[in-house]
Amino acid sequence: MGATPPRSPLAPERFPDLPAVGGVTLATTAAGVRYMGRDDVLLVRLDPGSTVAGVFTRSATRAAPVLDCEAKIGADSTEGAAFLVNAGNANAFTGRHGVEAVEALSRAAGVATGLPPARVFTSSTGVIGEPLPHDRISAKLQDLAAALAPGGWQAAARAIMTTDTFPKGAGATVEIGGTPVHIAGIAKGSGMIAPDMATMLVYLFTDAALSRAALKAMVSELADRTFNCITVDGDTSTSDTLLMGATGASGVSAEGNEAFRTALERVMLDLAQQVVRDGEGATKFVEVAVTGAASDADARTHALSIANSPLVKTAIAGEDPNWGRIVMAVGKSGAAADRDRLTIRFGEVPVAENGWVSPGYREEDAAAHMKGQEIRIGVDLGLGSGAAIVWTCDLTHGYIDINADYRS
């Protein structure tokens, strides 16, 4: 492994102050899975009565821990739960050994936390195809369990990092009927995948009470509007995992509460955008907003086609208001478009409309917007009311450096 890349220029100034979440305790340690001299394992314990929901990669080559989480997540239980996460090895494409590693870790973490193995959810992120040295993790579990304590979010966010250049956290406090309810989350990821060393992992916690069904519905819907609206390179990890636990420790139910839902969406969007801001080699944060599409699904297809186009992303890196590439990306997306109704904006600058360049367009106006660190591309199809927003970053020499040279 090479030197750690420098902190992303798009990173937030500092890790946020996050509230402790009743019923949630954490501990991290250095198990030496692959990295040396840093924590690489996170254990989270959720008190009895907690509900758990998850969203997982749709890859057809999902890693063993993902398949195991999916098998366990649908069960109702009042026994509590544990999340066990390691960085440095993805336990992906490891055949029978991978399944055995997950089973061994679930048993060992269950013993350490007093939970049945079926309530232990594991995630692994790092190299693909190498056997996970799970005994190194198991050997630390008693100590980890003894160290479990509330808070410690930044240490937790650091322990699960791979190619990330900064730890990612977000949180909120909402009052429900006069009682404060807390949300805290951490995430890692700096490509939708950077396969040797990345993957997107997200862990969210609240002390509000939510039934498993309500939690599952809310998390799935909000993930579609947040984490599923970001892209770095269009590649999808074999291990992407989002887990959320609701402990109910606040004594207050959040079911049907709009303020809670809004706060959770904001936390998830914040974490999702932090992943984009840590995109490999990123120097620009890009919002692609599509309106006027025949449907929301069409708008999303166009937005992702623009956001994933190497030619659009390199133009942004070059600070070039190259609207021809936007026309191209809309044209190739496969969703409905009419060239002669298309409107394109960079920031507030109208660039193209009615099938040609906008009257009075001056390239220097658009070029000024492209020089900023936050780029906004607006596209209106002029066909209907479908809309979508997607976030991405530019494609730079840094991406090539990281991904062409990573293992050497």
CB of 40 to a copy of itself, least distance (A): 19
Q: DSSP assignment, residue 340?
A: G
Closer to a copy of itself by Cβ: residue 95 or 180: 95
CB of 94 to a copy of itself, least distance (A): 6
Angle at 216 between CA 192 and CA 81, to 5 degrees: 90
Instruction: Identify the burial level of 204 via C-beta atoms within 10 angstroms of its C-beta, where 0-12 means exposed, 13-18 middle and 19 or more buried.
Output: buried
CB of 203 to a copy of itself, least distance (A): 22
Closer to a copy of itself by Cβ: residue 38 or 397: 397
Rg (CA), the chain: 22
Closer to a copy of itself by Cβ: residue 46 or 375: 375
Write the secondary structure of 143-199 as one string of H (helix), E (strand) and C (coil).
Answer: HHHHHCECCCHHHHHHHCCCCCCCCEEEEEEEEECCEEEEEEEEEECCCCCCCCCCC
Closer to a copy of itself by Cβ: residue 52 or 352: 352
Mode of pairing for the β-strands spanning 241-246 and 201-206: parallel
Task: Determine whether 206 is an active site residue.
Answer: no
Closer to a copy of itself by Cβ: residue 167 or 191: 191
CB of 76 to a copy of itself, least distance (A): 29
CB of 325 to a copy of itself, least distance (A): 5
DSSP string for residues in 223-243: HHHTGGGB-SSS---SS-EEE
Choice among 29, 94, 165, 199 that is catalytic: 199
Give the whole-angstrom CA distance, residue 82 versus residue 45.
Answer: 4
Binding site for a copy of itself (CB under 8 A): 57-62, 92-97, 127-129, 191, 193-196, 233-238, 309-311, 314-315, 317-320, 322-325, 327-333, 335-340, 342, 352, 354-357, 395-397, 399-400, 403-408
Q: DSSP assignment, residue 260?
A: H
Give the whole-angstrom CA distance, residue 170 versus residue 239.
Answer: 22
Q: Check residue 231 and give left, alpha or beta (phi > 0: left; psi -120 to 50: alpha).
A: beta
Catalytic residues: 199
